[in-house]
Structure formats: structure tokens, C-alpha cells
């Protein structure tokens, strides 16, 4: 079988050019139809990445264009090289082009889907997407093997292959008429795939300057997030976009970490977050909240961290938080009093109520926080000593300021060792103990 394969379809085989021509049409169709739309959506995620992947942010748009250029190149190169009278161009260079394009498809796509946290796209679930992702890799291995075989000295070849090897490049080249047909078909496929993204209104035909890109706002209300939904992204950062509210069902189900820091939100509609049922971390810091409205989090039974720092919150109302909540940051608000029996969060371990100008903590204020470990209390009128009567003995009261950088206070106690994010310090309770193992 492999002998026949070498003789007819291998790099030196009689039907090598026909095989390459056919395979390249298939590659263009598969890569283009499965991935160009994904790459276009990823391009419009620019500016909405987690700070962890900020380095890659400027690369999202170029990666779309690299992918598109690779597709066009893939459509054109076979008809140029396979019609060549030079055996070197017709065989080796064609195989090298093939391998280079395969590497491009694989690497560009994997990095782009990884940094946008579109994990189900990187590790696709449907057989079609699976083939489209893995095919270039398998193909590269095949091409590499063929090039390697070809590099072997002639005497190593079996006698039967001598005829094939002696076939001149002129005889085996793709007839010019076929090559014209090839390039027309291949470019036609790329054009159809491209037009489909135009119809869908994807990058570069979307409104790049819209305030809530990659989502859409009606005025200042976030009304849909189709691109992140379709990418099934798990992290989304829409910071400083002037957003005031979120319409029901705008968020995708796969969203796990969502930042709306530095917007203009004062209240959230009751079901604003209900569609994001796996939401684990929410940053609402530096908005305009003047009260806590935990009714908004009723459907978010996975919520582990909530950052509400630097808002305008002055009172704690009676509130039941999801039992999953581990870290609540109320730093930099105007909560002057902590009344008894109102803050009810059965799983809460880390509470930031520093920089509030706190004057009074009632006895029993922490009674409904049975798992509380650390309270940050600096920058208040009361200090830890004067609040100690209300604090259970097992709770560590912190007066040192835990400095949060671009990653915010949410890494503390999130269950992951957040080394390099500035929280592995005594003042930050050693990342909430996340690095102990
Ligand atoms: Ca951590």
C-alpha cells in the first residue's frame, strides 16, 4: 500500500500534483468554513481580554488577517507551483508551502482561541470542528514524512520506483487549463466564505467603534453579547464603556469571569445576570452603586467573588448572598455602620470593608458569616482593636492595605495560586492561602 502510495501519490509519484491540488481545495474549504468566522469574532474581542492576556490583545486583528492571507495563498499557490516546469518548485517547494500553511492555521487559531478563552473552540466538541483543528497538524506530519523520504539517497529507493523518479517535471505538471480551473474554484470558495462573514456583520464589517464591542449596547444599556456567546468565552472585560444596565439574557451561559469595572451602573435589573449561570467572578468596582441589591445574584449559585469597591454604597440592607460567595470587596464605599444580622453570606471567607470611614460595628454584625477568616478594616474611624468585641475570635482583622493592581481583589481566595499578581503578601493574607499546598 505504502509502495503504491509512494509511486503514485508520494512526493515523487506520478499523481503527486493532482493529489496536492485536490487536497488544497479540501483544506481551503475546511479551514475557511470552520475557522474564518471564529477568527473574525476573535478580532472584535480586542480590548475585552482579561489583563492576564493583555500582551496578546494587539495581535487579535493581525491574526485574523494572517489567517485570511493564508487562505488566499492556499487558494493560489498550487496553481502556480504545480504548473512549474521545475521539479524543485513543483514538488519540494509545493510541499513546503503546504506545511507552512498547515502550521499557520494551527498556531494562529490555537493561540487566538486560547487568549480569548474560547476554550470550546480550542478544544472543539463537534467532529467537524475537531477535524478542522487537528487536520493541519496530521497533514503537516504527512508532508514532513514525504519530504524526509524524498531526501533519502536514490540507491535506497526500490527498483520499481525508478521509472516514477525519472518522470520529468514537464510531464507531471498540472496542465495550465486545470490550474486555472483550480485557482478559480479555490478563490471562489474563499470568496463565498468571506461573503458569509460580511452577511453576518462580523469583523471587518462590524461597527468597530461601538462602545460595547464585542457586545452591543442600546444607548448605555448592554443588550446583547453575541460574539462572546458564539465563541463561548469564559472571560469578558467590558471596563470603562459607560454602561448603566444589562438587559435580561444578554450574557452567555459560559461566562465565568466578568468585569464591568469603571462603568456607570447604579442598579442592575433583577434578571440582568441570570443567564450567566456559571458566573464565578464579577467586578462591579468603580461604578455608581449606592446600595447593595443582592437580589440580582439569585441565579448565580456559582458566584465566588464580587468586587464592589469604590462605589457609593452607604448602607447594608438585609441581604442573602449565594452560599458560594467567598470574597466580597466593599472597600472604598461610605458604609459608616455595620448593623447586626443583615450581612448573610454563609460561605464568605474574605471581606474587604476598609476605607469606609466605619464608625460603628454592632455586636452580632458577623453572626451570619460563619466561615469568615479575614476582614480588612484599615482606613476606618474604628480600628481592629475597637471592633474586636464584635469580631469572632477566629477572624483575623487586617489593618494593612492589600494593594490590588490591574487584577483587582478577586484573585484572593479564588482557589488558584495567583503568583505574580501582587497578592502573595502578608497584607493580602497570602492570596487567601491559595498557594498553600
Ligand atoms: Ca488566588
The pLDDT assigned to 155 comes to 52
43 Cα to the center of ligand 1, angstroms:
29
Unique residue bearing C-alpha cell 467567598: 326
Considering the entire predicted model, what is its pTM?
Answer: 0.85
Kindly give the distance from the C-alpha atom of residue 406 to the centroid of ligand 1, in angstroms, as a whole number.
14
Q: Is the model's pLDDT at 194 over the cut of 80?
A: yes
Q: How far is the CA of 258 from the centre of ligand 1 (A)?
A: 16
In this prediction, residue 5 carries a pLDDT of 53
Dihedral (Cα; 329, 333, 337, 343), 10-degree rounding: -30
Q: What is the pLDDT of residue 18?
A: 83
pLDDT of residue 164: 47
Q: How far is CA 334 from CA 153, 208, 358, 381, in A?
A: 81, 38, 8, 12
pLDDT > 90: percent of the chain: 61
360: left (phi over 0), alpha (psi -120 to 50) or beta: beta
Summary mean pLDDT of the chain: 87
C-alpha 425 to ligand 1 mean position (Å): 11
| C-alpha–C-alpha distance, residues 231 and 8, integer Å | 42
Please enumerate in sequence order all residues whose Cβ is within 8 A of that of 43, keeping only pairs 6 or more positions apart, or say none: 60, 61, 63, 64, 203, 204
DSSP 334-391: ---EE-TT-EE-TT--EEE--SS---EE-TTTTTT-TT--EEE-TTSSS-HHHHTTTS
Ranked by mean pLDDT, the top range of 69-73, 96-100, 320-324 is: 69-73
Confidence band for 216, pLDDT divided at 50, 70 and 90: very high
How many angstroms separate the alpha carbon of residue 413 from the centre of ligand 1? 5
- The whole-number pLDDT of residue 153 equals 63
For ligand 1, the distance from its centroid to the CA atom of residue 382, given in whole angstroms, is 28
Asked if residue 371 lies in contact with residue 324, where contact means CB atoms within 8 angstroms, the answer is no
Whole-angstrom distance between the N-terminal and C-terminal Cα of the chain? 54
pLDDT of residue 1: 38
Q: 119 C-alpha vs ligand 1 centroid, how far in Å?
A: 21
In this prediction, residue 121 carries a pLDDT of: 59
State the distance from the centre of ligand 1 to the C-alpha of 324, rounded, in angstroms: 16
Q: How far is the CA of 133 from the centre of ligand 1 (A)?
A: 32
> Can you tell me the mean pLDDT for 134-158?
67
> 119: pLDDT confidence band, cut at 50, 70 and 90?
low
Provide the pLDDT for residue 171: 77
Q: What is the pLDDT of residues 335-378, one digit of tens each?
A: 999 999 888 999 999 999 999 999 999 999 999 999 999 999 99
Q: Lowest-confidence range among 51-65, 148-162, 177-191?
A: 148-162
Pairing type for strands 216-218 and 221-224 reads antiparallel
pLDDT of amino acid 417:
92
pLDDT tens digits along 217-244: 999 999 999 999 999 899 999 999 999 9
Is the omega angle on the peptide bond into residue 204 within 30 degrees of 0, that is, cis? yes
What is the percentage of the chain residues whose pLDDT exceeds 70? 88
Name the β-bridge partners of 306. 282, 328
Spatial CB neighbours of 36, under 8 Å, sequence gap ≥ 6: 67, 68, 71, 193, 194, 197
Q: Rounded to the nearest whole angstrom, what is the distance from the C-alpha of residue 311 to the centroid of ligand 1?
A: 23
DSSP state of 117: T
359 vs 229: CA distance, rounded Å: 45
Place of cell 483550480: 182
Tell me, in angstroms, the distance from the centre of ligand 1 to residue 432's CA.
7
How remote is the CA of residue 238 from the centroid of ligand 1, in Å? Answer: 22
How far apart are the CA of 209 and the centre of ligand 1, in A?
A: 34
Distance from the CA of 341 to the center of ligand 1, in angstroms? 29
Query: How far does the centroid of ligand 1 lie from the alpha carbon of residue 404, in Å?
Result: 12
Distance 423 CA to ligand 1 centre (A): 8
* Residue 263 pLDDT: 97
Amino acid at each position: 500500500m505504502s509502495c503504491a502510495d509512494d509511486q503514485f501519490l508520494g512526493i515523487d509519484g506520478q499523481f503527486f500534483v493532482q493529489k496536492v491540488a485536490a487536497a488544497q481545495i479540501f483544506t481551503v474549504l475546511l479551514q475557511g468554513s470552520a475557522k474564518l468566522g471564529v477568527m473574525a469574532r476573535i478580532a472584535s474581542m480586542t480590548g475585552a481580554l482579561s489583563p492576564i492576556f493583555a500582551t496578546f490583545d494587539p495581535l487579535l486583528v493581525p491574526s485574523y488577517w494572517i489567517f485570511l492571507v493564508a487562505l488566499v495563498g492556499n487558494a493560489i499557490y498550487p496553481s502556480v507551483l504545480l504548473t512549474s516546469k521545475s521539479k524543485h518548485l513543483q514538488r519540494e517547494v509545493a510541499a513546503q508551502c503546504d506545511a507552512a500553511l498547515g502550521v499557520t492555521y494551527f498556531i494562529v487559531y490555537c493561540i487566538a482561541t486560547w487568549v480569548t478563552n474560547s476554550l470550546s473552540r480550542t478544544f472543539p466538541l463537534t467532529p467537524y470542528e475537531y477535524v478542522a483543528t487537528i487536520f493541519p497538524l496530521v497533514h503537516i506530519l504527512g508532508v514532513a514524512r514525504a519530504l524526509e523520504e524524498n531526501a533519502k539517497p536514490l540507491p535506497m529507493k526500490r527498483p520499481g520506483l525508478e521509472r516514477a523518479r525519472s518522470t520529468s517535471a514537464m510531464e507531471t505538471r498540472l496542465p495550465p487549463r486545470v490550474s486555472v480551473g483550480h485557482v478559480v474554484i479555490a478563490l471562489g470558495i474563499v470568496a463565498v466564505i468571506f461573503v458569509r462573514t460580511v452577511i453576518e456583520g462580523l469583523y471587518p464589517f462590524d461597527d468597530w467603534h461601538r462602545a460595547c464591542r464585542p457586545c452591543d449596547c442600546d444607548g448605555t444599556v448592554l443588550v446583547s453579547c453575541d460574539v462572546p456567546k458564539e465563541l463561548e468565552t469564559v472571560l469578558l472585560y467590558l471596563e470603562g464603556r459607560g454602561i448603566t444596565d444589562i438587559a435580561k439574557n444578554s450574557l452567555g451561559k459560559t461566562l465565568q469571569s466578568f468585569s464591568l469595572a469603571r462603568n456607570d451602573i447604579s442598579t442592575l435589573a433583577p434578571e440582568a445576570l441570570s443567564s450567566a449561570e456559571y458566573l464565578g467572578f464579577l467586578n462591579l468596582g468603580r461604578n455608581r452603586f449606592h446600595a447593595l441589591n443582592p437580589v440580582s445574584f439569585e441565579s448565580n449559585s456559582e458566584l465566588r467573588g464580587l468586587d464592589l469597591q469604590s462605589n457609593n454604597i452607604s448602607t447594608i440592607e438585609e441581604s442573602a448572598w449565594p452560599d458560594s460567595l467567598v470574597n466580597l470587596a466593599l472597600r472604598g464605599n461610605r458604609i459608616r455602620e455595620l448593623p447586626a444580622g443583615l450581612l448573610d453570606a454563609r460561605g464568605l471567607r474574605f471581606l474587604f470593608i476598609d476605607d469606609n470611614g466605619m464608625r460603628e460595628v454592632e455586636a452580632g454584625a458577623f453572626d451570619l458569616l460563619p466561615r469568615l477568616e479575614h476582614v480588612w478594616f484599615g482606613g476606618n474611624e474604628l480600628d481592629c482593636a475597637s471592633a474586636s468585641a464584635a469580631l469572632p475570635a477566629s477572624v483575623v482583622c487586617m489593618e494593612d492595605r492589600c494593594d490590588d493592581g490591574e487584577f483587582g481583589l478577586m484573585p484572593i481566595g479564588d482557589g488558584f495560586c495567583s503568583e505574580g499578581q501582587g497578592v502573595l503578601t502578608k497584607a493580602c493574607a497570602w492570596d487567601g492561602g491559595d498557594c498553600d499546598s
